[in-house]
Amino acid sequence: GDSVTQMEGPVTLSEEAFLTINCTYTATGYPSLFWYVQYPGEGLQLLLKATKADDKGSNKGFEATYRKETTSFHLEKGSVQVSDSAVYFCALNNNTDKLIFGTGTRLQVFP
């Protein structure tokens, strides 16, 4: 069945460092891909999405490109801030009601 695999965390960075969180997926057809972020004590919220191959989703300085050839949707940010510390979830929807989530990657950014 469909699945999402994320890199293990935590990812620990200094402020202004470059961030990459890897996400790969297994799915038939052409799923939509999402990144959700969960700040401490809050629910998950949509960070960005891409609905077809080669689309780039972007928001708040974060970017991810839908790569069909490598079945990947890696999250990147050029310069992280302490306020970006959160758990990041990669997810896919393959034309159903449900989102299939990865296990989440915790990001810790230190000043």
Partner 1 sequence: DARVTQTPRHKVTEMGQEVTMRCQPILGHNTVFWYRQTMMQGLELLAYFRNRAPLDDSGMPKDRFSAEMPDATLATLKIQPSEPRDSAVYFCASGLGTITGELFFGEGSRLTVL
What is the 3-class SS of the chain, one letter each residue? CCEEEECCCCEEEECCCCEEECEEEECCCCCEEEEEEECCCCCCEEEEEECCCCCEEEECCEEEECECCCCECCEEECCCCHHHCEEEEEEEECCCCCCEECCCEEEEEEC
Residue closer to partner 1 (CB basis): 9 or 76: 9
Tell which one of 12, 45, 59, 79 touches partner 1 (CB under 8 A): 45
Q: Does 55 bind partner 1 (CB under 8 A)?
A: no
Residue closer to partner 1 (CB basis): 76 or 101: 101
Distance in Å, CB of 61 to partner 1, minimum = 20
Q: Tell me which residues in 79-108 interact with partner 1 (CB under 8 A).
A: 89, 93, 95-99, 101, 103-104
